[in-house]
Amino acid sequence: MTATGTAINAADLPFANSFAELPPAFYTRLMPTPLPAPYFLAASGKAARLVGLDPASLASEDFVALFTGNQVAARAKPLAAVYSGHQFGVWAGQLGDGRAILLGELDTPEGPLELQLKGAGKTPYSRMGDGRAVLRSSIREYLCSEAMAALGIATTRALMMTGSDQGVLRESVETASVVTRMAPSFVRFGSFEHWFYRDKPDELRVLADYVIARFYPELAAEPNPYQALLAEVSRRTARLIAQWQAVGFMHGVMNTDNMSILGLTLDYGPFGFMEAFDAEHICNHTDEQGRYSYANQPQIGHWNCYALGQALLPLIGTVEATQDALDVYQPEFARAIDVLMHAKLGLMNTEDDDRPLFDKLFSLMQDSHVDFTQFFRKLGQLQARPAGEIAVSDAAVRDLFIDRTAFDGWVAQYRARLAREDRSDSARKAAMDLVNPKYVLRNYLAQVAIDKAQNKDFSEVARLLAVLERPFDEQPENEAYAALPPDWASHLEVSCSS
Ligand code: AMP
Ligand code: MG
């Protein structure tokens, strides 16, 4: 629907495409490859409304054809962008949109959003790939994009998903799916590295100027706008990763081609949410060295900013100025995680000894493999001055620990700390419930939805999204979605296969 309430035809969507106005070296114009007999799988009402579309209309044949790539809107200028990147710490050379096709951008009150079809066929950058995405990985991307947005974490969005019975070969034959993603821009760190490693300073500058003019206009007036860009991207990346740590999100493939120049969570593959706490947890089965483990994410974020800094160095001018911009990262991360940890523990003030209190907690959680999400959520129920026997009143959270004596020791310290703040239990719980989600996209929840969808029942995808859209709310009817993973889930493995 438009603002005036008239329905828009799929073919008439008023696409613009500012990226297509860059010189042709930055992309290849091409049409998506149609899929046979596409069908509607799911749409995000919240994402649809962002771009002024009526979610109900997305299930229509026209929109399904458009967002599968079987039809192209008159004003779209489909293209695949080129980029390179460091994969698992090693320079990988040219990658590019191997299976993502940008249609163009739609205006929103918060600025234009680009719409991109992921899985819409081969591009000149597909290398050995088939240009497709399987149902399994598309469901994961669709659900997690919207779940992260609901958690208040910067991310690309997912507008809708379509499917086709066309077979797609991975470890076994699966079926094809297309996710329509949305973001102000899909430019990555690797988009800049591409021109640096090809020794093309002119293109490097064109891209940087485009990104600054369009997404960071306030930086254009800085004495060194490119240095300011690197500093701002480092700041946003640090903040983003602090938010990931605070909800136990692990990206799984933090290659520089998956790092957004806008500080968005980008490219959902073998991600995971921390369950039984283990700082060394590796969510991506393919990541044998644990480069992208939970504990490593903050320093990898910094490493990736270094890769961007290397690429921007010719524009920034000196190593010192580049280093200064990169030095923004660590203090920003420390500040952001400190604020988030205080909020997670329901602490309003900061004291010198808070850090050891947090560290001790994580070490106890590690020893007892405590479920990350359940622990923080249940901690909100703790009474600062319990009336009866402590073991009874603390049971909800205490019973998560194997070593309950150790937990009692920590909780005594925590209570002493709470006693120095003037806030009622109910006010503290209400504040904690706004930052400690009850519902996250546990791997097994996604797997249940995937298994059903592979049998043509898409209802669980919709139902799960409805739960994850309200992660901080108590949803008594959906209590089961907050449960610990069942035994069968301990065998679940997610890899780069998608
Ligand atoms: P990812 O690990 O999904 O970030 O992908 C790394 C690179 O491989 C990107 O350039 C992707 O576009 C490309 N790619 C991944 N899967 C495929 C596929 N099935 N067909 C073509 N390109 C792909
Ligand atoms: Mg990628």
Nearest residue to 375 (alpha-carbon basis) of 391, 359, 394, 389: 394
Supply the residue whose CA is at minimum distance from atom 7 of ligand 1: 95
Cβ < 6 A, ligand 1 pocket:
95-99, 126, 129-132, 253, 258, 267, 269, 496, 498
Q: Domain extents for the chain?
A: 10-189, 347-422
pLDDT value at position 5?
A: 47
Catalytic residue among 130, 165, 202, 257: 257
**Tens digits of residue pLDDT in 167-178:** 999 999 999 999
Pairing assessment for the beta strands 113-118 and 100-106 based on DSSP bridges? antiparallel
153: CA distance to ligand 2 center in Å?
19
342: CA distance to ligand 2 center in Å?
33
Which of 30, 35, 86, 99 maximizes ligand 1 atoms within 8 Å of its Cβ, making it the mutation to test the pocket?
Answer: 99
CA distance 300 to 291: 8
128: CA distance to ligand 2 center in Å?
15
Nearest residue to 155 (alpha-carbon basis) of 227, 254, 64, 260: 260
Check: CB of residue 309 under 8 Å from CB of residue 324.
no
> Within 13 Å, how many C-alpha atoms sit on residue 128's CB side?
2
CA distance 435 to 24: 44
96: CA distance to ligand 1 center in Å?
8
Supply the residue whose CA is at minimum distance from atom 2 of ligand 1: 496
Percent of the chain scored above 70 by pLDDT? 99
CA distances from 42 to 38, 105, 216, 218, 376 (A): 12, 21, 33, 38, 31
**Which two structure tokens, joined as six digits, stand for 115?**
């719409």
Q: How confident is the model at residue 391 (pLDDT cuts 50, 70, 90)?
A: confident
Determine whether 257 is an active site residue.
yes
- Cα three-residue angle 127-303-256, rounded to 5 degrees: 20
pLDDT value at position 6?
A: 57
187: CA distance to ligand 2 center in Å?
11
**Tens digits of residue pLDDT in 147-162:** 999 999 999 999 999 9
- Residues near ion ligand 2 (Cβ under 5 Å): 258, 267
CA distances from 284 to 254, 271, 296, 298 (A): 11, 7, 13, 17
Q: Which residue in this structure is represented by tokens 């399987």?
A: 134
**Which two structure tokens, joined as six digits, stand for 138?**
């598309």
Nearest atom (ligand 1) to Cα of 100 = 12
Mean pLDDT of 50-62: 97
Check: CB of residue 265 under 8 Å from CB of residue 148.
yes
Answering whether pTM is above 0.85, one says yes
- Cα three-residue angle 118-246-161, rounded to 5 degrees: 20
Supply the residue whose CA is at minimum distance from atom 6 of ligand 1: 95
**Tens digits of residue pLDDT in 299-349:** 999 999 999 999 999 999 999 999 999 999 999 999 999 999 999 999 999
**Tens digits of residue pLDDT in 254-312:** 999 999 999 999 999 999 999 999 999 999 999 999 999 999 999 999 999 999 999 99
Give the DSSP letter of residue 89: T
- Cα three-residue angle 374-375-376, rounded to 5 degrees: 100
Could you say which ligand is closest to the alpha carbon of residue 176? Answer: 1
Check: CB of residue 489 under 8 Å from CB of residue 447.
yes
Check: CB of residue 77 under 8 Å from CB of residue 188.
no
pLDDT value at position 274?
A: 98
Mean pLDDT of 233-241: 99
> Within 13 Å, how many C-alpha atoms sit on residue 353's CB side?
8
Mean pLDDT of 99-113: 97
Whether residue 7 is predicted with pLDDT greater than 80 in this model: the reply is: no
pLDDT value at position 3?
A: 45
pLDDT value at position 4?
A: 44
Check: CB of residue 178 under 8 Å from CB of residue 148.
no
In single-letter form, the type of residue at position 23 comes to P
pLDDT value at position 61?
A: 97
Pseudo-torsion of CA 378, 44, 164, 70, nearest 10°? Answer: -150
Supply the mean pLDDT for the chain.
96
Nearest residue to 111 (alpha-carbon basis) of 239, 16, 2: 16
**Which two structure tokens, joined as six digits, stand for 84?**
């390179």
pLDDT value at position 393?
A: 84
**Tens digits of residue pLDDT in 446-480:** 999 999 999 999 999 999 999 999 999 999 999 99
**Tens digits of residue pLDDT in 195-234:** 999 999 999 999 999 999 999 999 999 999 999 999 999 9
